[in-house]
Amino acid sequence: MELMKKSVPYIILATLVGAGVLAESLFNTPSQVTPPVTDTPTATATATAVTSSYEPCGYMWAYHNADELSAMMDEEIRTLDPSASGNASFYGEDCVYADGHSTFSAMETDFYVHIPVTDLTDEESMGNWLSQVLQIVLQFPREMIQGNYGFVEFWFEKSDTEHVIVRVPIQQYMDGTHGITGAALFRMFYVKP
């Protein structure tokens, strides 16, 4: 106990000295060394000051309309059936900054098709729609597709409350269908609710 009482002043002194050394290094700037002046010409490099403008942002999942691709998709779908429609969107992340502006990075391009039908059990007809529309999608120039191929979501609609939805991952269609059409193609991708 007696040793501890004698050590306390030294601990305090060491702490104060350390704090003083730290404060001096923080508040005193090092002196500038001036290069010697010579009569010999030398090449000098000029440095440009680079300022960092990194600004943190928060990432949020987002969809953005693909206006040009949507117009092309809709036009192609309406050639198959004037009462059907189609559109496209880019899916990815918005990087939202503190001031409210954001930047978008697309991860994939997705397509949506709405098709009026009279029979929701006609798998052959619906499967043929899948095939026709996917061929249209694959004919779009690849540079119009942002990120990866996403999916085509088909809405076969009998009424506002009666419909069948089939989502076809485009890459999976490209990798595994090899000319399959009709009911067989429909069954490959339809998942009963």
Q: Confidence band (pLDDT; 50, 70, 90) for 45?
A: very low
Q: What's the rounded Cα separation, in Å, for the pair 8 and 15?
A: 11
What's the domain range around 132? 66-88+109-189
Q: Does residue 31 fall inside a structural domain?
A: no
In the chain, how many domains are there?
A: 1
Is position 77 within any domain?
yes
pLDDT reading at 14 higher than 70: no
Beta strands 85-97 and 102-116: pairing type?
antiparallel
Whether residue 44 is predicted with pLDDT greater than 50 in this model: the reply is no
Q: Global pTM?
A: 0.70
Task: Tally Cβ neighbours within 10 Å of residue 29.
Answer: 7
pLDDT higher than threshold 80 for residue 7: no
CA count, 13 A, side-chain hemisphere, 191: 5
Pairing mode of beta strands 148-157, 163-169: antiparallel
Q: Is residue 78 part of a domain?
A: yes
Beta strands in the chain (DSSP E): 57-65, 85-97, 102-116, 148-157, 163-169
Residue 125 located in a structural domain: yes
